[in-house]
Amino acid sequence: MPARHQGACHDNPSHPWVLAIWRLHHYGSMRMSVRRATLGWLLAAALGLGAQESTSQHERLAAIERDQASLPQLILSQQSHQRIGFHGLQADPAWIAIDLGRTVTPDRIAVFPARSQLAERVPSPGFPAAFDVEIAETEDFARAIRIVRWSEPLPGAGEHLPFLIFSGNGATGRFIRLRVTGLRPDPDQSDRQYFRIGEIVVLADGLNVALHAPVSSSASTESARRWERINVNDGYLWCLPLLGASPSPTHGFQSGVSVAAVVADRSWVEVDLGDVMPIDQIHLVPAHPRDFADSSGFGFPTHFRVLGDAGTPTETVILKELEPVWPADALPNPGSAQVMVATPGLSARRIRVSCQALWRRGPGSGKGPDEHVFALSELQVWRGRTNIAAWRPVLAADATQTTGWSPEALTDGYSSRHQLIDWDAWLDGIERGEHLREEAKTLRAGLALEHERWQQRLVLIAISAAVLIALLAAIALLLLRTRAGRERDVLRMRIARDLHDEIGAGLSHLAMQSDLAKQHLKQGDLHGDRLDAMSASARELIDHMRDIIWLLAPKAGDWRDLARRMEAIANRLLEGIPHSVVVTGTPPDGQPAIAWSRDVVSFMKEALTNARRHSQAQHVRVSITWSERLVIEICDDGTGFDVNDARPHGGSGLDNLRQRAAALSATLELHSSPGQGTRIQLSVGIEAI
């Protein structure tokens, strides 16, 4: 780049982690939600890491891009002028020097590489690895002052630089020398070394005072146009200098179309400065209109002269490009590169570009086989830091007046593509742009590294999330197993109570009847009704035992089996009593919870047993309805009872029904009155495994 040397969690589980554990403990069915929520929190935390810093870096990048858009750019030059630079050979010492012609105090010195390849930021073979810039009053540099000593920070780094900028540090002198202390190995001859320089610009009071000054050097290779000493300060660079960022509203000046190529000064354009003025430099800026995108150097004449005060006794030939004669090119087309002419000691009022031969534009339009024109985008006349030709009147032998083309556009301060600026503004802008480019490069590298770190964090968090989810799953499984164990214990206690209440009591009653039967048998007074009672008790015990075994049997699982069992129990318990059992609806798919099935069956048996023993009914109707809820209704036309009597028949049957309904979280309706029969309805939600 250009270088310049100078508390209540369990009661109100609001915290996410406490909420997760609380739900996990109370709602096993929400395990998946907990896992998703946990992963979401972790990912949100990961994305939040460094987000503020990343946002700040992105904002800075956006600001850099906006700033860069307002700065001059390094625009490649086609180098059709063929002047690449200077090729120095190995010597002791190896150097190149410029005679500025007068004593100056340089403000800045810029050293440009020589680039023959037309690719952005391609390596510049041969740019010195180290050199000193010296200034002296005498050509022998006997009392030279070193302005700067430079060496590349890393091997080969100098060959990737666009150019270098050094401050003049206040030293004064007439001669500038670049003394090379770090040469490059010649790729063609291993025993030789060399160096290459594209351009040396010495700025003083805003002008390049080294332009076209005499050049001397140590040993060098001289190859016509391409590699010559005079190329080191001819104004041709590998990039297009002095172009700003603002786009141009015009193309420039274009003459009328000529069928003939040779016009012998009949095609010209000139700027009237208004008075005779000292002139330091003249810049001819070639045209490059957008509708001729592949024609840089559009209309630049092949043979021409630059004249001061043409046609007057004081006419001065400033630049003459007439040899070799047409049809050869006297001056190779410069493309979009400015043709800069130093004019020390010149004073003039009018500056004219007069053409001997024109640029061939292409096939004619009915006027002949060819069309030839003369065009320039800008003619600048510099006096110190000021372009004194800006917006001055323009005269021409003939001119094209179309959109973008006019004589006035020749002094409007724009090339065909960009605003034109001076050396200081251009170097400052390029230098700032390069610093911004390096800053942006550092920021992007930092963002890429941060992105990689974020990815690593995400991987780590994903692993942590997987471990945490596995841990939560293990805790959930443990809690569910604990809960299932408690449920099994409760179920065992209920079965034990059933065995005690129903089977145990029945066996005790059967034992008592057996003892009485034995006594009656000894006394010879045993009757058949006693044996019938014993037989009935035994059958009842068998039925109770079957019901309990059915509840515990693994195959006694689905809802349809439960529905059939309930219907069979109703028919069995009401055997001998006129009754009807009506089943409507369809049981659901799946398997009911064991405890739920046990409570429903127990409720139904309790209600039917009460009806059989106490109602003295002539008919009992049992209705079993399957829908979103299970509804069991038992109606009899028996004696009825007072529902406000806690123990209407001297037993605990009603209390048992209410307790079993409460255990099921069911709705119990009981309607009865003496002499009016009884209706019992249970509505219970279906509970599946």
pLDDT at 679 over 50: yes
Query: Per the domain annotation, does 635 fall within a domain?
Result: yes
What is the DSSP-derived secondary structure letter of residue 256? -
Quick one: pLDDT at residue 365?
A: 43
Integer Cα distance of 410 and 397 in angstroms: 14
Do residues 224 and 258 both lie within one domain? no
Query: Per the domain annotation, does 353 fall within a domain?
Result: yes
What's this model's pTM, rounded to 2 decimal places?
Answer: 0.63
Quick one: pLDDT at residue 22?
A: 30
pLDDT at 243 over 80: yes
Quick one: pLDDT at residue 452?
A: 86
Query: Per the domain annotation, does 347 fall within a domain?
Result: yes
Quick one: pLDDT at residue 594?
A: 79
pLDDT digits (tens, 9 = 90+) for 318-340: 999 999 999 998 999 999 999 99
Query: Per the domain annotation, does 99 fall within a domain?
Result: yes
pLDDT digits (tens, 9 = 90+) for 487-531: 666 666 666 666 656 666 566 666 666 767 677 677 767 666 666
Integer Cα distance of 517 and 525 in angstroms: 9
Do residues 571 and 645 both lie within one domain? yes
Average pLDDT over residues 366-373: 70
Quick one: pLDDT at residue 189?
A: 82
Do residues 158 and 268 both lie within one domain? no
Average pLDDT over residues 127-141: 97
Domain termination site, one of 420, 445, 476: 420
pLDDT digits (tens, 9 = 90+) for 570-626: 898 888 899 999 999 999 888 888 778 888 888 998 899 888 888 888 999 999 999
Element (H, E) at 508: helix 505-523
pLDDT digits (tens, 9 = 90+) for 186-235: 888 878 999 999 999 999 999 999 999 999 999 999 888 899 999 999 99
Integer Cα distance of 391 and 407 in angstroms: 11
pLDDT at 21 over 50: no
pLDDT digits (tens, 9 = 90+) for 441-489: 999 998 888 888 888 888 888 898 888 888 888 898 888 888 767 766 6
Q: Which residue has the higher pLDDT, 122 or 667?
A: 667
Quick one: pLDDT at residue 307?
A: 98
Do residues 248 and 124 both lie within one domain? no
pLDDT band at 19 (very low <50, low <70, confident <90, very high): very low
Do residues 122 and 204 both lie within one domain? yes
Integer Cα distance of 682 and 341 in angstroms: 112
Quick one: pLDDT at residue 293?
A: 79
Quick one: pLDDT at residue 7?
A: 35
Q: Which residue has the higher pLDDT, 456 or 556?
A: 456
Identify the domain containing residue 134 by its residue range. 86-233
pLDDT at 564 over 50: yes
pLDDT digits (tens, 9 = 90+) for 46-55: 555 556 667 8
pLDDT at 94 over 70: yes
Q: Copy the structure tokens of residue 291.
A: 């509708």
DSSP line for 272-327? EEEEEEEEEEEEEE-B--GGGTT-TTBT--SEEEEEESTTSTT-EEEEEE--SPTT
Quick one: pLDDT at residue 271?
A: 98
Average pLDDT over residues 262-283: 97
Q: What is the mean pLDDT of the chain?
A: 84
pLDDT at 685 over 60: yes
What is the total count of domains within the chain? 3
Average pLDDT over residues 266-287: 97
Average pLDDT over residues 532-553: 65
ω before 247 within 30° of 0 (cis)?
Answer: no
pLDDT at 554 over 60: no
Do residues 199 and 248 both lie within one domain? no
Quick one: pLDDT at residue 5?
A: 47
Query: Per the domain annotation, does 450 fall within a domain?
Result: no
Distance of CA 469 to the CA centre of its chain: 29
Count CA within 13 A, CB hemisphere, residue 480: 13
Do residues 210 and 256 both lie within one domain? no
Query: Per the domain annotation, does 93 fall within a domain?
Result: yes
Average pLDDT over residues 535-554: 64
Do residues 202 and 141 both lie within one domain? yes
Element (H, E) at 468: helix 423-498
The residues, any chain, with a CB within 8 Å of residue 84's CB and separated by 6 or more, are 114, 115, 116, 198, 226, 227, 231
Do residues 163 and 198 both lie within one domain? yes
Do residues 652 and 588 both lie within one domain? yes
Element (H, E) at 470: helix 423-498
Domain termination site, one of 420, 450, 478: 420
CA dihedral 221, 222, 228, 229 (to 10 degrees): 70
Domain termination site, one of 420, 453, 481: 420
Query: Per the domain annotation, does 41 fall within a domain?
Result: no
pLDDT band at 253 (very low <50, low <70, confident <90, very high): very high
Do residues 620 and 654 both lie within one domain? yes
CATH code of the domain covering residue 220: 2.60.120
Lowest mean pLDDT among 123-127, 243-247, 547-551, 664-668: 547-551
Percent of the chain with pLDDT over 70: 79
Do residues 622 and 658 both lie within one domain? yes
Query: Per the domain annotation, does 428 fall within a domain?
Result: no
